[in-house]
Amino acid sequence: MNGKNFNDTHDTNKSPRAIFKDYSDFDQYIHKLNVDSKTATETFVPSSTYFVLDEDRHVFVGAISIRHYLNEALRNGGGHIGDGVRPSERRKGYGTDIVRLGVLKARELGIKDIMISANTNNIGSKKTIIKNGGIYEKTVLEDGEPLEIYWIRE
C-alpha cells in the first residue's frame, strides 16, 4: 500500500512516520525498522514498532512505537510511546486500543512507569491517554508548541 494513495501527509500531521510509508517492499521496510530500532543516538533510542491492520480492508490504520528507555531528549518531550492513527481512521476507537496494547507491550519490556505526551490542542490524543490511565504531569514547549506530559504508572 502506498502511503501517497490517501490524503494524509506526514508534513501536516504528527502521527508516527510508520503509517505514511510506501509498503510496496514491506520486507525491506521491516528490515530497516529492525536495524534502526537497535541503534541508539543522541536523539533516538532502541524501540519496537507495531502496526494496526484492518485485515478486511487491507489498510494500515495506525502504528505505535515503544521506546525501550528515555534519553534526555525523550524525557523532555517524546516519552516512551509514540502512537498515531491514520487521519481517515480516527474517531473509531483505534487510538485507545493502540495505546492500551502499547502499554501492555511496554510492561513486557519491563517499563514500569510509562511517559507519553500529546500536543495541547490534540484533544483526541489526550482523551486516549487519560482513558489508559495517564496522569497529567506538566506542559513543556517542543519546537515552540505546547506539549502535555502524562505518566501511566504501574
In tens, the pLDDT along 4-21 reads 333 344 444 444 555 555
Rounded to two decimals, what is the model's pTM?
A: 0.77
Domain contains 35 = yes
Measured CA to CA, the distance from residue 4 to residue 31 in angstroms comes to 21
Q: Is residue 139 part of a domain?
A: no
Domain at 108, CATH number? 3.40.630
Assigned domain for 137 exists: no
Is residue 101 included in any domain, yes or no?
yes
- pLDDT bracket for residue 37 (50, 70, 90): low
**Secondary structure letter of residue 39 according to DSSP:** -
What mean pLDDT comes out for the span 68-72? 92
Walk across the sheet containing 135-142 and list its strands: 47-54, 59-67, 81-85, 114-119, 145-152, 135-142
Domains in the chain, number: 1
> Which three three-digit cell numbers place residue 97?
486500543
Asked whether residue 126 is assigned to any structural domain, the reply reads no
In a domain, 125, yes or no: no
What's the domain range around 47? 3-112
Q: How many Cβ atoms from other residues are within 10 Å of residue 83's Cβ?
A: 26
